Amino acid sequence: MLLRSNTRPPIFSVDLAQFQALVVEASNQQPILVDFCADWCSACHTLSPHLERVINELDGAIRLARLEIDGGENMKLAALYRLRAFPTVILFQGGQERGRFSGARSTHQVRDWVLARLGSGEEHRHYGV
């Protein structure tokens, strides 16, 4: 069963200095999607509202961290995770990467991808999607 959190914002920004605590460690309590994006990336702007819809549909069961790769030292994370294209979305759960995709996708494609990695069809019915 997925834990819901009403005390932390479902969508937040993160940077290199916060990544370990706010993403990797926090994913032990709740799954976290990380959107590695860039302001100059048109596909990033296309994907963004679809990610937000899915996060809102799942009503606190999963959080979304946005990481602007061009901000400060954030490109080091892109190198660490060997990102080759933007946007790249990585799902963290239990302190580990559980999956990733690159490029723009529709809301239903993102929802199906997330739910397939989080668990069984029982959870699909629970969230009404």
* pLDDT of the residue at 6: 52
pLDDT of residue 71: 82
CATH of domain 11-126: 3.40.30.10
Is the bond leading into 10 cis (omega within 30 degrees of zero)? no
Question: Above 90 in pLDDT, residue 124?
Answer: no
Residue 106: pLDDT over 50:
yes
Give the pLDDT mean for 64-85.
94
pLDDT 10s digits, 29-62? 999 999 999 999 999 999 999 999 999 999 989 9
On average, the pLDDT of the chain sits at: 89
Q: Which residue has the higher pLDDT, 7 or 31?
A: 31
Q: How large is the average pLDDT for residues 87-107?
A: 97
pLDDT (0 to 100) of residue 3: 47
State the pTM of this model. Answer: 0.87
41 is catalytic: yes
* % of the chain at pLDDT higher than 70: 87
pLDDT at 129: 37
123 pLDDT more than 80: no
| Catalytic option among 26, 37, 44, 114 | 44
Mark whether 37 is an active-site residue: no
Catalytic option among 34, 41, 51, 69: 41
